């Protein structure tokens, strides 16, 4: 389904260059549940941003459903991301002045979904993350766990094949973290590909495959 081949990512800051990835190769099949581990600075977020079409690699090939994504411009990347990828961040990244309902609706607006379908979909998503009674709350009026559930619902809005989560439980207490994990596990049971960056070995133990990054390379890759 997706494959990274000899991916490199170099950040240039003034005359200093940081090699964040290099060279990294990885194949992921539809329906896999992968945990990504590795020390701070090892390139986990950089790899996730490339996988999620939020950023472009400096070199190498990225094939997504037989499409050469590395040749895409920013607009093509944004379109692919909107339709195929759901991204969940540690810091939720919700719009602060929009309600839970409006935050979840946003990717549907970008995808030009009709008003009737949007309403059906957002109502169903709010229910499936257990927040039907919080639709009109803004992020500041929600707990951390509830914010992250809104973020998961938003990631699912356009029914993506792949969910990418970069330390989604990093800001949550143990109980809320477990709820998010349960949500992810049920999504994976429905056939969604799930790639999860975590520092939490306990969380990682739920994954079917574990990848360790070190210095921008895959150090270990094994079935759990």
Query: Would you tell me which residues interact with ligand ATP (CB under 6 A)?
Result: 11, 13, 18, 20, 38, 40-46
* 103 part of the interface to Mg ion, by CB under 5 A: no
CA 24 to chain centre: 19
Task: Considering the complex, state which of residue 142 and residue 204 has its C-beta at the smaller distance from Mg ion.
Answer: 204
Burial 182-214 (b: 16+ CB within 10 A, else e): ebbeebbeeebbbbbbbebeebbebbebbbbbe
For residue 41, the partner it binds in ligand ATP, Mg ion, none, with Cβ less than 5 to 8 A by kind, is ligand ATP
Residue written as tokens 């999860």? 196
CB of 170 to ligand ATP, least distance (A): 9
Task: Considering the complex, state which of residue 131 and residue 151 has its C-beta at the smaller distance from ligand ATP.
Answer: 151
For residue 42, the partner it binds in ligand ATP, Mg ion, none, with Cβ less than 5 to 8 A by kind, is ligand ATP
- Residue 109 host element (H or E): helix 100-110
* 169 part of the interface to Mg ion, by CB under 5 A: no
CB of 23 to ligand ATP, least distance (A): 15
**Choice from 45, 146, 176, 193 touching Mg ion (CB under 5 A):** 45
CB of 25 to ligand ATP, least distance (A): 17
Of 25-44, which residues contact Mg ion (CB under 5 A)?
44
Q: Give the residue from 91, 38, 53 showing the smallest Cα distance to 219.
A: 38
Residue written as tokens 């056939």? 191
CB of 197 to ligand ATP, least distance (A): 7
For residue 20, the partner it binds in Mg ion, ligand ATP, none, with Cβ less than 5 to 8 A by kind, is ligand ATP
* 49 part of the interface to Mg ion, by CB under 5 A: no
The two tokens of residue 87 are 């991204």
166/218 Cα distance (integer angstroms): 17
- Residue 3 host element (H or E): strand 2-13
The two beta strands, 162-166 and 59-64, are unpaired
Q: Give the residue from 224, 88, 221 showing the smallest Cα distance to 167.
A: 88
For residue 121, the partner it binds in ligand ATP, Mg ion, none, with Cβ less than 5 to 8 A by kind, is none
CB of 19 to ligand ATP, least distance (A): 8
């Amino acid at each position: 389904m997706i494959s990274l081949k000899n991916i490199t990512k170099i950040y240039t800051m003034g005359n200093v260059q940081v090699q964040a990835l290099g060279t990294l190769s990885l194949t992921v099949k539809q329906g896999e549940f992968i945990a990504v581990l590795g020390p701070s600075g090892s390139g986990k977020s950089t790899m996730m941003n490339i996988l999620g079409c939020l950023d472009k690699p400096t070199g190498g090939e990225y094939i997504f459903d037989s499409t050469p994504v590395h040749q895409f411009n920013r607009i093509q990347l944004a379109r692919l991301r909107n339709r195929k990828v759901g991204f969940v961040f540690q810091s939720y990244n919700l719009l602060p002045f929009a309600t839970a309902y409006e935050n979840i609706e946003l990717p549907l607006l970008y995808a030009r979904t009709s008003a009737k379908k949007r309403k059906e979909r957002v109502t169903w998503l709010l229910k499936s993350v257990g927040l039907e009674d919080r639709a009109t709350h803004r992020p500041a009026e929600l707990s951390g766990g509830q914010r992250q559930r809104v973020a998961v619902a938003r990631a699912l809005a356009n029914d993506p094949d792949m969910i990418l989560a970069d330390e989604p439980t990093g800001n949550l207490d143990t109980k809320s973290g477990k709820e998010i994990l349960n949500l992810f596990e049920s999504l994976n049971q429905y056939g969604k590909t799930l790639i999860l960056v975590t520092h939490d070995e306990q969380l990682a133990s739920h994954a079917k495959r574990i990848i360790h990054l070190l210095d921008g390379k895959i150090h270990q890759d094994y079935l759990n």
